[in-house]
Chain A
Amino acid sequence: MSQDIVQDSLEAPLGATAERQAVVSAAGATPGKDWVIVTRGIKREYDMGGEIVRALRGVDLAIRRNEYVAIMGPSGSGKSTLMNVIGCLDTPNAGEYWLNGTQVSKMSDDALARVRNKEIGFVFQTFNLLPRASALHNVELPLVYAGVPGDERRRRAKEALERVQLGARIDHRPNELSGGQRQRVAIARALVNNPSILLADEPTGNLDSQTSEEIMRVFESLADQGQTVIMVTHEPDIAAHARRVIVLRDGLVASDERRSTFVEKLGITTG
């Protein structure tokens, strides 16, 4: 059971805490359709040369469809590890992780790869585009691994790039694009297969403040269109763009509040 979950105010549009608590405590039960992510007591430990590092000590999360969540924390809080677990890049040592009604915490490597392909759209701090492929081909990649035939693939990739205002740059290589454009290609790639969640790891870490705002606006509009967005960051002003902020500390959830509360507490002004 996690500690110190701060009470939401009753007008919270994100659903009552009581509901979340209920879902999280029902060990073994399949969560309802509305819940995209449910984690129950996620633990993740590593053996670092004899010493055991407990990165996650029992994390409970309940995230509904169409939420825009920021997961915040200082380095060492376990936020990267949590992101890896949520993104199905890593499996927890203990606990349950339900993604869209399926328990993925005990899946095989191949099955996890399928889930990553279909349900998760990653956006990385360092963009992680293939340097020698065009923007179009980069965006096509998830569809390649999904087995989509060539023509349909190209069409969908083109559409995705147009949605992020890069329709005129589809044949450019990453090194011919600015940082902001590269991140937008990455976003298009993340969305091309219509994933359940867009999972962004420090998406503005390598961008200047103006471009960062640009990208934050893209996320905002995606959230407005119904996409579930989960953003991991250590910067409070970036986190403040989300509508719900979960703070991790030492492998546990330290706080979980709406934006207004979070902003108020920290005295941040956002645009």
Chain B
Amino acid sequence: MPFLEAVRLALQQIWVQKLKSFFTLLGVMIGVTFLIAVVSIVGGMSRYMTDTLVGKIIALNSFEVRQRPKINFQMTEERWRELNRRPRIKLDDVAPIAAALPSDARWAAYNVAQLPGESRFTARPKQLRVFTVTSDYFGIKRMEPVSGRLFNQQEYERGRNVIVVGQDVASHFFEGLDPVGRELTVRGLPYTIVGVMEKQGSVFGQSLDQFIVAPMTSPLNRVVAPHDVVAAVIVQAPSREAITTEMEAAREVLRVRHHLRPNQPDNFALETSDSALEFWNKIKSYLVIAGVALPAIGLVVGAIVIMNIMLVAVAERTREIGIRKSLGARRRDIMSQFLVESATLSTFGAALGVLTGFAFAKIIAMLSPLPAAVELWSVFLGVSIGAGVGVIAGVYPASRASRLDPITALRAET
């Protein structure tokens, strides 16, 4: 029997018993739903981590020289104490590190703290993320002002009381007004706003726009950090490949300055976006296991269900099989008829599973900060596995059907 005939016959069979067919393909459908949903959630998170999260917290092609890593997930008591014992990165360390870098590398140092700010235009103070930076900070982080300007050479040299602010700060303190030229007070001292920065967005629901930035030489630095330390030195390499060389250069300088012996580990952190991603990759591997296990369970159950329903179908259609054989159907005709039927059934189920997986992912994306986008390869995988499950599940029933003796089969009830 030609393939298309068999498929048409199979679809007819499915249609005739819609409800029964639906329950039969439920297992496969659920398995594929899980597959699509998990892949889209994991994929979305992965993309979010690499493109968004890490790109925003640690700039592209860059690394930071810090006392401790910015992103720490496996904090134990012991590690906490070890981290606290480490020396801080000093202002004096900056020049030697910069000197060791190749000429096409860019660098900047910064300090950061959380401090309250006030203005005349609103009674409510607000917690601000306060950065003090050296001049190339904005270039490395690729931050541009949407109104006003960045600091000029003189303001860096003289350490003027100037700041640029983030969007949330502008709208909170100066609603409806142009903040440029106005003042914001931090710890009693007024600072003039020279620019408002473009929107940075948010990370896991937390806004990144509640910051102000001042030159490191400004008085604001005194309330942000002790006078001789920096929180980190950001170094940006011109390409991904160059990062390693530059990291090694910085590492050498700091190890010497910290008087470390060759067998002692670093007592500072060189953090690239990769190291932040490392942890995510570990989580991802667990999620992938779940993403394989859950669909697998659904599909195994689905296969068992299909096999049993097909066995029942063969028993119910014994006479029909006898009729077909008497008309000239060979074993392989009967076999393929039932195999195609079970494969069509399960492929149908897989297709439905793709649709519900889609819906599932969309709902998750809407209701949570998790970004979930369906990946095309998972659709193909789901549908092909679905079809495969149907074929495997159908082999035994189809083979039984094909081996029925036509004479006995013709005597059966149906």
Contacts and interface: CB of A to CB of B under 8 A. Distances in A.
A116 B327 contact: yes
B238 to A, nearest CB: 66
A84 B322 CA distance: 13
A151 interface: no
A1 interface: no
A113 B2 contact: no
A128 B323 contact: yes
Interface string B340-353: 00000000000000
B16 interface: yes
Contact of A144 (B1, B326, B331): B1
A142 interface: yes
A89 B327 contact: no
Contacts of B16: 132
A185 to B, nearest CB: 13
Interface string B302-322: 000000000000000001101
Contacts of B324: 141, 145
B335 to A, nearest CB: 12
B66 interface: no
Contact of B330 (A113, A118, A132): A113
Contacts of B332: 110
Nearest to A109: B331
Given A128-B319, A130-B320, A145 B328 contact: yes
Contacts, number: 56
Interface residues of B, number: 22
Nearest to A149: B2
A171 to B, nearest CB: 15
A121 B334 CA distance: 19
A132 B320 CA distance: 10
Contacts of B323: 128-130
A114 interface: yes
A117 B410 contact: no
Contacts of B325: 113, 116
A142 B324 CA distance: 8
B410 A128 contact: yes
A122 B2 contact: no
B326 A109 contact: no
B274 interface: no
B320 A89 contact: no
A173 B1 CA distance: 22
Nearest to A199: B326
A117 B331 contact: no
Contact of A113 (B5, B328, B407): B328
Contacts of A114: 328, 330
A199 to B, nearest CB: 10
A117 B406 CA distance: 14
Given A87-B326, A116-B326, A189-B327, A145 B319 contact: no
A145 B326 contact: no
Contacts of B333: 113, 145
Contacts of A147: 2
Nearest to B13: A132
Contacts of B407: 84, 89-90
Interface string A108-141: 0110011011100010100011101000000001
A137 to B, nearest CB: 10
A142 B5 CA distance: 13
Interface string A12-27: 0000000000000000
7 tightest A-B CB contacts, nearest first: A117-B328, A113-B330, A145-B328, A110-B330, A142-B327, A116-B328, A128-B323
11 contacts: A90-B407, A109-B331, A116-B327, A122-B326, A128-B322, A128-B323, A129-B323, A142-B327, A142-B328, A144-B5, A145-B324
